[in-house]
Amino acid sequence: MNLLIKSATIVDPNSLFNQQVADIFIKDGKIAEVAKNIQADAEVFDAKGKQVSPGFFDLNCNIGELGLETKEDLKTGTAAAAAGGFTGVALMPNTQPPVHSKAEVEYLFNRAKNNLVDVYPLGTLSQKREGKDLAEMYDMYQSGAKAFTDGNRPVQDSGLMERALLYTKGFEATVFSYPEDAAIAGKAKVNEGEMSTLLGMKGIPSLAEELMIARDLYLAEYTDSKIHFTTISTARSVNLIREAKKKGLKVTCDVAAHHLVLTDEALAGFDSQYKVKPPLRTRADVNALLKGLKDGVIDAIVSQHTPHEIEFKDVEFEVAEFGIIGLQTAFSLALLAGLDIALIVEKLAVNPRNILEVAVPTIAAGQKANLVVFDSNAEWNFNKENNLSKSGNSPYLGQNLKGRILLTCNNNKVYQSK
């Protein structure tokens, strides 16, 4: 594959050409040259007025394979990822069976070979995600698992979390914590506040998240271990992690793109497409999350891509499943939240790889071509025709969004939007 990207504005903090307009000549999957006015025998992609950055990387992606392929399989999931500008995804182990041994890790790596999108399976923290006994984490680590988590099941047993942190410290792996105290959250479906009262529904208090973050920060400090909190959603959660970082704890965190733009007011019509977990919070929480991104407390933005068949979402709000698909809309939502391009690239492309300790691609001669070209000003319509996921559970389906992905390149393969 020979490709010449012409006149693109490069947005890459690690590149000598950062914030400059240049041509990028890609030959056989590698960047052969970055310069002004390159002449080469190659397919030309006109990127004048457009931006190019390292490919995005998603730290929280749910794909049904293994066992739940009717929701999403690797083929459709990675196609949606490429269309959203992602060249790498970390897969949550929320599958049947869960990714709780090296057999599942190796299966997923083999299934994802020769794909445009790099796939990184995350292993479970506990056997079968039951929260009782530690999973075979070191075996999974040797097979390529970079981090460990029980996915969307919070670890309720403090002793188990302590042992997991101590054990993974031995081989410098990272534990991902989904912070929720299930005893406090109960079976509630929405954020506890004015809207839950108005809707007549029992709410999940922000305390359920914050209490678990406080616990896991204490455990991480006690064990001197690395911990990553995924999909934080409240103002106090941001403050707890801010204080922990000031103390020098090895803590990182991310936020789901939809939590940057939506509040619990979206639930006024009982539309189950807005039912997510953690639940949509208040405007004050959204403002705190945005501030946390800008001042560096929140390290990354994730899609929290969670596909479901129509029969799990097109039902009464109370019984509908949690989650929305987000791979193709994450970039647009970050723009909608008012974040600038350089910050978005940092939170979507650079920091996620640093957290998972995988190589960060650079737009420079001699480097592998792992990049995305986008137009941050162009509008596009997210619809059934261009939705590449198997599932359609998104409140943004049928809506016009700003920020269009034009081209995604990795592993000597190219995706171009139509």
The string of pLDDT tens digits covering residues 120-142 is 999 999 999 999 999 999 999 99
Judgement on whether residues 72 and 184 belong to the same structural domain of the protein: yes
Rounded Cα gap, residues 126 and 412, in angstroms: 37
User: In angstroms, rounded to a whole number, what is the distance separating the alpha carbons of residues 353 and 279?
Assistant: 26
> b/e string for 142-171 if b means 16 or more Cβ within 10 A?
ebebbbbbbbbbbbeeeebbbbbbebbbee
The whole-number pLDDT of residue 127 equals: 95
Count structural domains, the chain.
2
Examine residue 364 and state whether it is found in any structural domain, yes or no. no
- The two structure tokens encoding residue 89: 């995804």
Q: Among 326, 356, 386, give the residue marking a domain's end.
A: 356
71 in the same domain as 155: yes
Residue 418: what pLDDT?
83
CA 258/CA 134 separation, integer angstroms? 32
Query: Is there a single domain that holds both residue 293 and residue 192?
Result: yes
What stretches in the chain show pLDDT beneath 70?
A: none
Indicate whether 283 and 382 sit together in one domain.
no
Bridging pattern class, strands 371-382 and 399-410: antiparallel
Q: Are residues 21 and 111 in the same domain?
A: no
Domain boundary among 304, 327, 356: 356
Residues 118 and 198 placed together within one structural domain of the fold: yes
- Tell me, yes or no, whether 363 lies in a domain: no
pTM for this predicted structure? 0.96
The answer to the question of residue 110 being in a domain is: yes
Please give, one letter per residue, the 3-state secondary structure of the chain.
CEEEEEEEEECCCCCCCCCCEEEEEEECCEEEEEECCCCCCCEEEECCCCEEEECEEEEEECCCCCCCCCCCCHHHHHHHHHHCCEEEEEECCCCCCCCCCHHHHHHHHHHCCCCCCEEEECECCEHHHCCCCECCHHHHHHCCCCEECCCCCCCCCHHHHHHHHHHHHCCCCEEEECCCCHHHHCCCCEECCHHHHHHCCCEECHHHHHHHHHHHHHHHHHHCCCEEECCCCCHHHHHHHHHHHHCCCCEEEEEEHHHHCCCHHHHHHCCHHHCCCCCCCCHHHHHHHHHHHHCCCCCEEECCECCCCHHHHCCCCCCCCCCECCCCCHHHHHHHCCCCHHHHHHHHHHHHHHHHCCCCCCCCCCCECCEEEEEEEEEEEECCCCCCCCCCCCCCCCEEEEEEEEEEEECCEEEECC
Residues 100 and 131 in one domain: yes
pLDDT on residue 337:
98
* Residue 92 and residue 241 in one domain: yes
Same domain flag for 296 and 386: no
Q: Which of 251, 237, 332, 246 is nearest to 291 (CA)?
A: 237
Question: At 281, which CATH number?
Answer: 3.20.20.140
Q: Determine the pLDDT at residue 1.
A: 79
Together in a domain, 176 and 227: yes
Structural domain includes residue 98: yes
Residue 218, C-beta contacts closer than 8 angstroms, at least 6 positions apart: none
Do 219 and 268 have their domain in common? yes
Residue where a domain terminates, one of 356, 386, 407: 356
Does a structural domain hold residue 361? Answer: no
In a domain, 362, yes or no: no
Q: 146 vs 19, 167, 362, CA distance in Å?
A: 32, 14, 21
Residue 207 lies in a domain: yes
Task: Answer yes or no: do 104 and 29 share one domain.
Answer: no
CATH number of the domain that residue 27 is part of: 2.30.40.10
Pick the closest to residue 88 from 108, 118, 49 (CA basis).
118
Tell me the residue range of the domain where 140 lies.
55-356
What does the pLDDT look like over 24-81, one tens digit per residue?
999 999 999 999 999 988 999 999 999 999 999 999 999 998 999 999 999 999 999 9
| 403 falls within a domain | yes
